[in-house]
Amino acid sequence: MDEGVQAAIDGEMALLEPEVRSSRARAERLLDEEFVEFGSSGQMWDRESMLEAMAGTLSAAGEPIEPFGVRGVRLAENLVHVTYMTNWRGWDCCTDR
C-alpha cells in the first residue's frame, strides 16, 4: 500500500480512539483546518464543532468505536479518500463513514 494512503488511514483510525477523542490537542493535530464531515444523521460538522463534540459527549462513554471495511484511495497527489464502517456501543447497525 502507498505510504501516504496508509498514513491517512492511520490518522483516521487514531481519531476513533477514546484517548485521542478526549484530548483536544491530539485531535487538533489530526484534523485539517478545512475539515468537514457529514454525519449519518445528515448533520454537517466543521473542525471546531467536531473538536468540541469529541471532547464532550462523543467520548464521554470512553467506549471504543470498532471500524471495519477500511479502505483508502489516493484521489490526487495530496488527497486520500478513506472510507469505513463503524460499530459503536454494541449497536446492531453500523455507520458508513
Provide the domain count of the chain. Answer: 1
Confidence (pLDDT) at 58: 55
Residue 79 identity (one-letter amino acid)? L
> Domain limits at 76?
3-96
The answer to pTM > 0.85 is: no
Q: C-alpha distances in angstroms, 55 versus 18, 20, 36, 62?
A: 10, 9, 17, 11
For residue 75, the domain's CATH number is: 3.10.450.50
Grid cell, residue 22, equals 478526549
Per-residue pLDDT tens digits for 57-96? 554 556 678 899 999 999 999 999 999 988 876 655 555 5
**Is the CA virtual torsion 90, 57, 97, 95 positive or negative?**
positive
